[in-house]
Amino acid sequence: MPTINPKVRNASVRKLAKASSPNTNTAALALNAFGMVWVFGIVFGLLRLAFGLVYLAGFRHALEPIDDILPSELSNRLVTEFELRGPPTIMISSMVKSPITIGLFKPVVIFPRDLYPELSDEELAGVLFHELAHVQNRDHLLGVAQRLIVALNWWNPIPYFVSADFSKSMEELCDTRAIAAMNGPAAYA
């Protein structure tokens, strides 16, 4: 293995030391600091998403099944309209304030404990049409993808605005689907 003359090596090190000015070191430090902050933001966003998914999994185990069975006419209509294998899984919880659907692979419609007994069959149908439209549109998967994009681009305000508009559009689309299934807005309201 060839050896390097120590005088040549020392001269090369001195040239490199002269070439790296304080401005170069400052720029490198700033770039490293920016990179670390960027990575920290991404890790924070991904951890927030992961903890949210874990929380939902635990939340699902705390749900209570409903005592009532859906009216057979409504159940058959839902199965036909949304091409379901069977009636939707419906649960109640005192932890939600409005009907929601959760679950990536086995979606569950959750009603607030106080709201469910107060709904007429027509109102129940409207809520179920809206929530099952979310399931059919795969909004639960789109929501995870949407949050992942925001987490990876946490520093950019544009994904936040697009995400908010996208969420609003998903809700409007499900409202439109429910209105159509209920034969008009008066029945859905």
pLDDT averaged over every residue in the chain: 83
pLDDT at 7 over 60: no
Residue 27: its pLDDT value, please?
Answer: 75
Question: Quick one: how far is CA 101 from the chain centroid?
Answer: 12
Q: Which single residue is written with the structure tokens 């959760």?
A: 102
Tokens at 17, concatenated: 């030391």
Contact 125, 75 (CB under 8 A): no
Between 120 and 6, the more confident residue is: 120
Cα–Cα distance, 107 to 90 (Å, whole number): 9
Q: Which of 125, 19, 145 shows the shortest CA–CA distance to 82?
A: 125
Cα–Cα distance, 98 to 114 (Å, whole number): 10
pLDDT in tens, 39-95: 999 999 999 999 988 888 888 888 988 867 677 788 888 888 888 877 788 899 999
Cα–Cα distance, 181 to 124 (Å, whole number): 13
Question: What pTM does this model have?
Answer: 0.75
Give Dmax (Cα) for the chain.
94
Averaged over 1-15, what is the pLDDT?
A: 57
The full DSSP string for 135-170 is HHTTHHHHHHHHHHHHHHTTT-HHHHHHHHHHHHHH
Cα–Cα distance, 66 to 11 (Å, whole number): 82
pLDDT at 6 over 80: no
